Structure 1
Amino acid sequence: MPRPRTLTQDRLVAAAHAVVDREGLAGLSMRAVAKELGMSTMGLYRYVADRETLERLLVESLLDAVDTAPPPDDTPWRERVEEMVRRLRVAVSARPAVLPLTVTHRHHSPGVLRWSETVLTILDEAGFDGTRRVIALRALLGYVIGALQLEHLGPLAGPGTTTIAALPPADFPHLADTARHARDVTPDAEFFGGLAILLRGLAS
């Protein structure tokens, strides 16, 4: 008789998150997760097919936490979209190490599909249709994913900005000056300031 399946998905996902938190995405493997769970690698294959499946489970656990209920419809569409983006940022920021996987696996995540459907509903009600709605959604996703990666993987307060600020002003006057000013920009100001620019552009 086959052995009973005793490993729950919650335990599996928690173990995978523990590996990524400790070793980064490069350390995520069937062997590492099996070790985290105190079982053999072959035993883990009874519950999950491969590393790609592990990645999908991580993305699903991250994005399923997003509140996808439509914001109140008595507010302007730009405020409603900003609220949806804020919710996504909060969820993703809880596990920033998993962020790069969202690009590859977002199509398989029920959470991001529901989020996209809600955003598209808001855009539709605001008069976006056809290719304009396509471009608007893609622009929003591109901004959110890119901005969050910059926020967590290359923050303004990081060593990269310090290095750029020290560039010779004679060779890079605008770049060096911009990097020096960047030290005073908070993550919230950077993220929502960029979002406001994008939304103004979409509205024009």
Structure 2
Amino acid sequence: MASSADQQPPSRRAWGSLSQARIVAVALEIARTEGMEALTIRRLAADLGASRMALYRHVADKEALVDLVMNAIAEHDVVPPGIDEGPWPHRLRLLATAMRRQLAAYPGVVDVLMTRANHGPGALHLVETILAILADAGLDERQAARHYLIFIDLVLGRLHRELHGDPIAAHRTASLVALADKAGGHPRLRAAEPHLRAVSSEEIFEAELDMLIEAVKAAKS
């Protein structure tokens, strides 16, 4: 039988002890371990041991909470240390790899980014970092703007496909080969089959970055 102590409701925080920094830290932990779908004002209040009304003094609503979390990820996780050092191709690749890895660590974040913009200071720092790398590559403002958009599309698009239905996934290759077996013929597909199966998402990502880097080099020449 549960003791009276076990039946007590969770203790509430002392008045004035809640801060936006603490709210964001706990929200990030929920997003990292359970995904953005689990991040609600009710859940956050429970984890903080605070009332929802106490949270609303720091965060206006769920949309504002998501904005805070997205900004914190961009500000603290995405841009790696040493991003200002070394040749620009190395820096661009380093940033792309960090973005893909860190955004994947928060389930549901890339889905949010595909449907809404992140306009916080962390996002602005990320954009400025990308544009600075492209400027160091020798691109003018028009070229840098174009290749910035290509970079964002490449990184977010590849990650979104990896999480929600990658056209290079092994099961898609298997179904294609099975169809060829049933239809007969198609010698080139049969010869390519083992090589198609061997290609990983990581290799595709690196190859796409190679192509982007070559496109940047061509644009400045």
Structure 2 vs 1, CA of residues 175 and 115 (structure 1 numbering), >3 Å: closer, same or farther?
A: farther
Aligned to 1:117: 128
| Whole-Å separation in 1 of the counterparts to 2:137 and 2:106 | 32
Count of aligned pairs between the two proteins: 196
Runs (5+) with no aligned partner, structure 2: 1-13
| Whole-Å separation in 1 of the counterparts to 2:192 and 2:20 | 46
Aligned to 2:209: 195
1:58/1:98 contact within 8 Å kept? no
For the aligned residues, what is the CA RMSD? 3.3
Deviations 1:98-126 (A, max 9, x none): 22233424222x22322221221222232
Match of 1:107 among 92, 107, 119: 119
Q: How far is the alpha carbon of 1:165 from its aligned partner?
A: 2.3
Read off the aligned partner of 2:213 and give its amino acid letter: L
Q: How far is the alpha carbon of 1:9 from its aligned partner?
A: 3.0
Read off the aligned partner of 2:26 and give its amino acid letter: A
- Matches for 1:106-145 after TM superposition, within 5 Å: 106-108=118-120, 110-145=121-156
Q: How far is the alpha carbon of 1:166 from its aligned partner?
A: 1.7
- Identity, in percent, stands at 30
2:36/2:108 contact within 8 Å kept? yes
Aligned to 2:54: 43
1:165 and 2:177 aligned: no
Give the number of the structure whose alpha-carbon radius of gyration is greater.
2
Q: How far is the alpha carbon of 1:72 from its aligned partner?
A: 2.6
1:80/1:122 contact within 8 Å kept? yes
Runs (5+) with no aligned partner, structure 1: none
Q: Normalising to structure 2: TM-score of the pair?
A: 0.71
| Whole-Å separation in 2 of the counterparts to 1:131 and 1:46 | 43
The structure, 1 or 2, with the larger RCO (C-alpha pairs under 8 Å, 6+ apart) is 2
Structure 2 vs 1, CA of residues 197 and 12 (structure 1 numbering), >3 Å: closer, same or farther?
A: same
